[in-house]
A and B are shown apart, each in its own frame.
Chain A
């Protein structure tokens, strides 16, 4: 294939055809996380919201509470399972929204050129310069807590993250001779862009989306941690960490560490997977 990030390609070539262990682990972890989230009502041993002050701050490994309990005696495992729903879906929403917006704007800027490009690029620079978390907090302050507003806000602030990359790659890819040959075959700009340019940018899109998924997850967790995201008692990993603050000070770090590790593993898995997909698509056309 034609395009691409040199780092992806170099690493891809070394890996050859066998799927590396890290990728297998990442896929397994993500599938497991998604499955537990989807099947939480069946799998969870307790209700995620059932408090039991007598059992509060049980350490991991306690009978009946495999991962222990938090400061109000809620089962950490059950909350972790239910929390997977919001914690995975919300960043996915951000990625999809910003992906569509960023790709559309980036392609438009690259293909239209001239003043359209200048205006769009400067707009993206402005949004890019604005801290995403600050924007999300402003939006929450205006529209009240809940997930919809921060998802939209984060999507907007992540748009340049993808849009600028899409623009530069599209300019580079659009200058390739095959684009000219399709033009010579009488295909319009829209058609060549959507049917040829866009598919050839998938590796970059995927890699970049995976990165922004990680950022979105951390940002949303931060919002929840600040009490601006998910409304209690609904569980998500960020709010679980936030609510575990006092417990950590009391010497029971489990209820905070466990969702923290879940966030960490998810972000790492998505990045590993994104990079792998990007690399294998880049390899496919090269015939190695």
Chain B
């Protein structure tokens, strides 16, 4: 056993989701939402979760906090830094959210109570953990400095509406890091921001994550962004993981027809102009997906064998893919 393996045996993964199946209701009226989702985020690792709207990426991220839709039934395993989320009681879940896992939401303006001062927002989490108010204020000041807010002392006294979207997202990031979490769940943290601001916020996130060794699950629908910043990327379609690949490999060698179709559907910034190919049909939710492979009704390679059963995940090159004929995708 190497030192590294020993280390990981003692300190479990920041986030481990294993075979998570989620559904609402029971019997004939049951609506499936997720099916056998497996996602792993190591410490200090950036992992992307990519998919269209409704593919279940946000549900998966929220599952790490034990936040399920009302009436949902979850099976499988979800652990955050070794803590079993599905088995955790209310108090344990609250504790988990306060200390081990933090979430950054899409729109910072919507994620902060608009009538409270930024200082209140940052210190509230700390004070809830029993940090004295003076100490909490000092920590908040330090955090604001670290995330690059000018005049942090004045910023503590300002209201959210006095900040730009990018600056406010920095405040939210500061808040998320104040608890020194093991895993950071970033749910499309830059979708609501300008492209230039987006780059700054991403750089900040990466920097913060690198210095603190926090694991990050980066949820996005931006495939290029995910490939650029993530060590590994999971591609989701209709409540299932269809491909897992290293960030770089995703571009060069997509192993799932869906991934390839997504790549072909986004305009290239460099090189020759090529025709953008739309994926025919519309995104399916798990509930309305066809039997077998959920993508088969939109897949150019689909055959009769795709309908037989949900393709098992298997290794293909450096990737893991849930497709019966990944060899044909590369062509």
| Residues 80-113 (chain B) with a chain A CB within 8 angstroms | 90, 93-99, 102-103, 105, 107, 110-113
Cβ distance A190 to chain B, nearest Cβ, rounded Å: 11
- What residues of B have a CB within 8 angstroms of the CB of A285 in the complex? 114-115, 159, 161
**Contact status A186-B159, CB under 8 Å:** no
Identify which of residues 167-212 in chain A touch chain B, using a CB-to-CB cut-off of 8 Å: 176-178, 180-188, 191, 195-196, 199-200
Q: Which listed residue (A181, A196, A284) contacts B111, Cβ 8 A?
A: A181
B65 closest partner in A (C-beta): A184
Look across to chain A and name the residue whose beta carbon is closest to the beta carbon of B96: A186
Asked whether any CB of chain A lies closer than 8 Å to the CB of B175, the reply is: yes
| A287 interface contact, C-beta 8 A | yes
User: Which A residue sits closest to B160, measured CB to CB?
Assistant: A285
Q: How far is the CB of B30 from chain A (nearest CB, A)?
A: 20
Q: Check A182 against B98 for contact (C-beta < 8 Å).
A: no
Report whether A286 and B161 are in contact in the complex, using a CB–CB cutoff of 8 Å.
Answer: yes
Is there an interface contact between A186 and B114, defined as CB atoms closer than 8 Å? no
Contacting residue for A181 out of B94, B99, B105, CB 8 A? B105
Nearest B residue (CB) for A176: B110
Check if A250 is an interface residue, CB within 8 A of chain B. Answer: no
B113 touches A182 (CB 8 A): yes
Chain B residues with Cβ below 8 Å from A129 are none
Cβ-based interface call for A7 (8 A): no
Q: Is the CB of A185 within 8 A of B98?
A: yes
Residues from chain A with Cβ under 8 Å of B269 in the complex? none
Query: Is A186 within 8 A of B113, CB to CB?
Result: no
Q: List, in ascending order, chain A residues with CB within 8 A of B162's CB.
A: 287
- Within A217-252, the residues touching B (CB, 8 Å) are none
- Chain B residues contacting A195 (CB-CB under 8 Å) are 124
For the complex, what is the distance from the CA of A183 to the CA of B90, rounded to whole Å?
Answer: 12
The answer to whether B125 has its CB under 8 Å from any CB of chain A is yes
Q: Which residues of A contact B94 (CB under 8 A)?
A: 186-188
User: How far is the CB of A244 from the nearest CB of chain B, in Å?
Assistant: 48
Q: A181 → chain B, closest Cβ, in Å?
A: 4
- Given contacts A285-B161, A287-B159, A287-B161, A184 and B103 within 8 Å (CB-CB): yes
Query: Quick check: B111 and A186 within 8 Å, CB to CB?
Result: no
Interface membership of B128, Cβ < 8 A: yes
Quick one: which of B97, B110, B115, B179 contacts A199, CB cutoff 8 A? B115
Considering the complex, give the chain A residue whose CB is closest to the CB of B97: A186
B176-204 residues at the A interface, CB under 8 angstroms: 179
Q: Is the CB of A1 within 8 A of B114?
A: yes
Interface residues of B in 113-162 (CB under 8 A from A): 113-116, 124-125, 128, 159, 161-162
Question: What residues of chain B lie closer than 8 Å to A183, measured between beta carbons?
Answer: 67, 97
Provide the residues of chain B in CB contact with A2, threshold 8 Å.
114-115
On whether A186 and B115 interact (CB within 8 A), knowing A177-B107, A178-B110, A287-B162, the answer reads no
Question: Given A177-B105, A178-B110, A181-B105, are A284 and B115 neighbors across the interface (CB < 8 Å)?
Answer: yes
- Beyond A177-B105, A285-B159, A287-B162, whether A185 also contacts B97 by CB under 8 A is yes
B98 touching A178, Cβ below 8 Å: no
A196 lies within 8 A of B116 (CB): yes
Verify A196–B128 contact, CB threshold 8 A.
Answer: no
Counting chain B residues whose Cβ lies within 8 A of the other chain, the interface size class is: 20 to 34
B128-A186 in contact (CB<8A): yes
Chain B min CB distance to A50 (Å):
53
| Cα–Cα distance between A178 and B105 once the two chains are bound (Å) | 9
Cβ contacts under 8 Å, A1 to chain B: 114-115
Instruction: Tell me the bound Cα distance from A176 to B112 in angstroms.
Output: 10
B103 lies within 8 A of A181 (CB): yes
Q: List A contacts of B99 (CB < 8 A).
A: 186
Instruction: Convert A59-99 into 0s and 1s, putting 1 for each residue whose CB lies closer than 8 angstroms to a CB of B.
Output: 00000000000000000000000000000000000000000
Residues of A close to B113: CB separation below 8 A? 178, 182, 196, 200
Q: How far is the CA of A31 from the CA of B68 in the complex (A)?
A: 52
Chain A neighbourhood of B65, CB < 8 A: 184
Indicate the member of A2, A178, A284 with the most B CB atoms within 10 Å. Answer: A178
Tell me which residues across on chain A come within 8 A of B96, comparing CB atoms: 186
| B85 vs chain A, min Cβ distance (A) | 13
For residue B318, give the distance in angstroms from its CB to the closest CB of chain A: 33
Contacts of A185 on B, CB cut-off 8 Å?
97-98, 102-103, 124-125, 175, 179
Q: How many angstroms from the CA of A181 to the CA of B67 in the assembled complex?
A: 11
- B107 partner residues in chain A, CB cutoff 8 A: 177
B116: chain A residues at CB < 8 Å are: 196, 199
Q: Bound state CA distance, A200 and B115, in angstroms?
A: 7
With known contacts A181-B103, A285-B114, A186–B98 Cβ distance under 8 A: yes
**Which residues of the other chain, A, contact B111 by a CB distance below 8 angstroms?**
177-178, 180-181
Q: How far is the CB of A175 from chain B (nearest CB, A)?
A: 11
Whole-angstrom CA separation of A181 from B160 in the bound complex: 15
Please give, as numbers and ranges, the residues of chain B lying within 8 Å of A188 by CB-CB distance: 90, 94
Closest to A179 in B: B113
Q: Could you show 26 A-B contacts with beta carbons less than 8 Å apart?
A: A2-B114, A2-B115, A178-B110, A178-B111, A178-B113, A180-B67, A180-B105, A181-B103, A181-B105, A182-B113, A183-B97, A184-B65, A184-B105, A185-B103, A185-B125, A185-B175, A185-B179, A186-B93, A186-B96, A186-B98, A187-B94, A187-B124, A195-B124, A199-B115, A200-B114, A200-B115
A residues contacting B by CB (< 8 A) are: 1-2, 176-178, 180-188, 191, 195-196, 199-200, 284-287
- Not counting A186-B93, A285-B115, a sample of 15 additional A-B residue pairs whose C-beta atoms are within 8 angstroms of each other reads A1-B114, A176-B110, A177-B111, A178-B111, A181-B103, A184-B65, A184-B67, A184-B103, A185-B98, A185-B125, A186-B128, A188-B90, A196-B113, A287-B161, A287-B162
- Interchain residue pairs A-B with the least CB separation, the first 5: A186-B97, A186-B98, A287-B161, A177-B110, A181-B111
